[in-house]
Amino acid sequence: MSRARTYLDANATEPLRPQAREAMLAALEHPGNASSVHGEGRWARDLIEGAREAVAALLGAKAANVVFTSGATEAANWALTPMAPDERLYVSAVEHPCVLAGGKFDPDRTASVPVRGDGVLDIEALRARLAADSTESRPVLALMAVNNETGVVQPVAEAAAVVHEFGGRVVCDAVQAAGRMPLSLEGLGADILFLSSHKLGGPQGAGALVVQSDEAFPKNLLKGGGQEKRRRAGTENLAAIAGFGVAVQEVRHHVSHMERLQELRQRLEQGLRKIEARTLIAGEAAERVANTVLFATPGMAAETLVIAFDLEGVSVSSGSACSSGKVGDSHVLRAMNFAAPSAVRVSLPWNADERDIDRFLDVWQTIHHRMNLGRAA
C-alpha cells in the first residue's frame, strides 16, 4: 500500500506499534517452547509471564487470572459458556457479532436487551427482563464496554450491579475500551472480561480472557495439553503474545494520547458539519471514546462513500470489520433507531495527527461536492 494513504480504521485494527514489532522479532529469533524445562523453554516462559503481568496491570487484575487466547472471538466463545443448566444469556442489541452469536448458549436460552436512542443500554429494560425471568433462570449478561461502531461507552458497572442482584454474572467485551479509556476489572464490576491485541497496537492473532476469581473461569473451550495453567490447551503464540504485552505497556505509559485524540475528534466533527450542516453523528449525546465518529449524511449511501474514500487513498469503514466485509446496513444503527440507514465510521489510530484529519476533510469535501453535482444532474 502507498504511504500516501491515510488510515482511519483503527477500530478494525490499530497500526502495529514499533515497540511491539521489535518484541515480536526478538521472540522469533529464539527457539524454545514455553512448556519445555530447558533454558530456551524457560526464556519463552518468562516472556509469556511478563506479558501476562502487563495485561493484569492494565486491568488491575491478578496475573493468575489472565489467560491468553488467539483473539477476542475465541475468548467470547469461551466466556459465553453456560456454567449451570439454568443460566440464560442476555446480550445488548449492539454487541459485536462474536458475542451476538451466543457462544455455547442455545438460541432458546438467549435474549436481547434494547438500547436507547443514544446507543446506551436501557437499564430499566434490563431490570424488567431479569425480574420477569428470575424464577426460572440465572442471568448472564454480555455487555461491551465500548461499542465498536459508535464509540459509545456502556454503563457496565451499573448493569453489573443489577445482574448481581439477581445472582447472575457479567461478561464484558473490553476490546474497544482498552487504551482508549480508564479501565479496570473491579471498576466495571464484570466477572469475565476479554481483550484483543490488535485493537491496541499489538499484532493480530492474540487476545486474553481475564476473570475476577478462579470460580469465574468457564469450562475449558480447548482441551489437550496443560498450557495456560491447564485453562487453554495449545502451544502459545509466543511472538504474538510478546507483541501484545509490549503494546499493553505502551498504552499504560502514554495515557495522555486520549486527550490528543479528543482534540482531533472535535476538529473532525466541526469539519464534517462545516462541509455538510445536515451531518448526523451516532451516539453524539452519549459518552464516547475519543477516537470514534460514526456519521451519516442524508441521501448518501455508506457503501458508495467507503469506496469513494478508498479510491482517494483514505481508509474508513461502515462498521464492524467482522461482519463478512459488510459495507451496508448496521444492526447497531437499527437498534438505536438512527435516522440514517447507513453511516461511515472514522476511527483514529494511536498515531493519528492533525494532518490525517485535514486530509480526510479535504477528501470528504471533494467527494461531497462531486456527489451533489451528480444528483443535481
Q: Please state, in angstroms and rounded to a whole number, the distance separating the CA atoms of residues 298 and 371.
A: 12
Q: Would residue 322 show up in a list of annotated catalytic residues for this protein?
A: yes
Count how many Cα atoms sit within 13 Å of the Cα of residue 243 in the half-sphere of its side chain.
26
Strand segments (E) across the chain: 6-7, 66-69, 87-92, 110-113, 138-142, 169-173, 192-196, 207-211, 280-281, 292-296, 314-315, 344-347
Residue 153, classified by CB atoms within 10 Å of its CB into exposed (0-12), middle (13-18) or buried (19+), is buried
Q: Which amino acid is present at 254? A: H
Residues whose CB is less than 8 angstroms from the CB of residue 18 and which lie 6 or more positions away in sequence, other chains included = none
Q: Helices 302-311 and 354-376: crossing angle, nearest 10°?
A: 120
- Catalytic residue chosen out of the listed positions 63, 222, 322, 371: 322
Q: The dihedral of CA 31, 37, 38, 40: what is its sign?
A: positive
Q: DSSP per residue over 278-299, as a string?
A: T-EETTTTS-B-TTEEEEE-TT
Q: Please state, in angstroms and rounded to a whole number, the distance separating the CA atoms of residues 286 and 293.
A: 12
Q: Which three cell numbers stand for residue 14?
A: 490499530
**201 backbone φψ class: left, alpha, beta (φ>0; ψ -120 to 50):** left
Q: The dihedral of CA 117, 118, 123, 124: what is its sign?
A: negative
Instruction: Please name the residue ranges forming H helices in 337-377.
Output: 354-376
User: What residues are labeled active site?
Assistant: 322
